[in-house]
């Protein structure tokens, strides 16, 4: 009984911050609401409009493609850094700080920093590539280049994943490495056969987290760096929802879009979770 009472404050906060907003969004999704006049109930009109809204489904595919590119890259960077920096020492501590530091930079400041880095006129990347004779890769001016540039922006804020991967590496029994050393197993084989399989469950959980994270945090860099362009190559779903709500004043329709995006993200996460559970078994 005491434990259930202790849970009430948490449940109340969840209800206030999650359940109640979802309920309001669900109601607005059934209305024509602009934020100026009162909401008008329209039933399934917004749903029928959504089915025929090819522009929104293009943004969903863009977000999915971005997650497919960025999530493996983030996992590789986080796990790779954890394997390199799991030992102690002054130099290692500096490396850990360097890996974690981008995660404490505000998203807007991080996006504006990359806007300068990728700038084709005076950015350092463009200057270096021109110096070696490669030329401008079009990180802000071509469809493929802008997509890759947005992927780079999202790939390096891996501080939390790095800490979890570091803890997972510390949990691997040292006796296994001692046995491998006695047997003369090569380091690459040790990583492939011992380290990564034992870290796999937590790596799977990081993948779940990053799918949700990448879909949502792509909004700020897409808004500030590319504006969804060129040719809507970086128009991710959260940015499309934002435009519907606050540029076009279609708050009712935007509520439906946000709920659909929430449901699709939950479905993708549930699929990955099923894979993680199968891997653990």
Work out the pLDDT band at 231, boundaries 50, 70, 90.
Answer: confident
Residue 63 has pLDDT above 90, yes or no: yes
Q: Percent of the chain at pLDDT above 70?
A: 96
For the stretch 253-267, pLDDT in tens is 999 999 999 999 888
The pLDDT value recorded for residue 2 is 58
Say which CATH superfamily domain 54-247 falls into: MetI-like (1.10.3720.10)
More confident residue, 86 or 77: 77
| Mean pLDDT, residues 36-43 taken together | 89
The pLDDT value recorded for residue 205 is 87
| Mean pLDDT, residues 74-99 taken together | 86
The pLDDT value recorded for residue 92 is 79
Q: What is the DSSP string of 223-246?
A: IIIITT-STTTT--HHHHHHIIII
Residue with tokens 């109640």, as numbered in its chain: 20
The pLDDT value recorded for residue 131 is 81
Name the phi and psi angles at 170, rounded to 5. Answer: -70, -20
For the stretch 19-37, pLDDT in tens is 888 899 999 999 999 888 8
Residue 116 has pLDDT above 90, yes or no: yes
Residue 1 has pLDDT above 70, yes or no: no
Angle at alpha carbon of residue 256, lines to 252 and 257, rounded to 5° = 115
**Domain parsing of the chain, residue ranges:** 54-247
pLDDT averaged over every residue in the chain: 89
The pLDDT value recorded for residue 244 is 93
Residue 197 tokens, joined: 């399989």
The pLDDT value recorded for residue 129 is 83
Give the CA-trace dihedral at 118, 119, 122, 127, to 10 degrees.
40
The pLDDT value recorded for residue 89 is 65
For the stretch 179-192, pLDDT in tens is 888 888 898 899 88
For the stretch 154-204, pLDDT in tens is 999 999 999 999 999 988 898 998 888 888 889 889 988 999 988 988 888
């Amino acid at each position: 009984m005491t434990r259930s009472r202790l849970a009430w404050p948490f449940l109340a906060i969840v209800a206030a911050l999650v359940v109640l907003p979802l309920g309001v969004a669900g109601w607005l999704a059934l209305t024509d609401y602009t934020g100026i006049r009162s909401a008008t109930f329209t039933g399934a009109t917004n749903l029928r409009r959504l089915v025929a809204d090819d522009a929104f489904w293009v943004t969903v595919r863009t977000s999915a493609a971005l997650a497919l590119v960025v999530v493996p890259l983030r996992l590789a960077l986080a796990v790779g850094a954890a394997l390199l920096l799991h030992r102690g020492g002054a130099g290692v501590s500096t490396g850990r700080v360097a890996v974690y530091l981008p995660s404490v930079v505000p998203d807007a400041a991080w996006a504006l920093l990359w806007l300068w880095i990728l700038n084709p006129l005076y950015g350092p990347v463009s200057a270096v590539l021109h110096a070696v004779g490669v030329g401008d890769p079009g990180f802000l001016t071509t469809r493929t280049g802008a997509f890759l540039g947005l992927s780079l922006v999202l790939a390096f804020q891996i501080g939390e994943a790095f800490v979890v991967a570091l803890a997972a590496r510390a949990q691997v029994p040292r006796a296994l490495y001692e046995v491998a050393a006695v047997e003369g197993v090569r380091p690459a084989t040790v990583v492939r056969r011992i380290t990564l399989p034992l870290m796999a469950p937590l790596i799977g959980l990081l993948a779940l987290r990053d799918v949700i994270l990448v879909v949502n945090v792509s909004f700020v860099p897409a808004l500030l760096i590319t504006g969804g362009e060129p040719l809507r190559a970086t128009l991710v779903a959260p940015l499309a929802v934002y435009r519907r709500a606050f540029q076009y004043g279609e708050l009712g329709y935007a509520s439906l879009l946000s709920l659909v995006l929430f449901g699709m993200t939950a479905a993708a996460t549930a699929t990955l979770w099923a894979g993680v559970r199968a891997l653990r078994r």
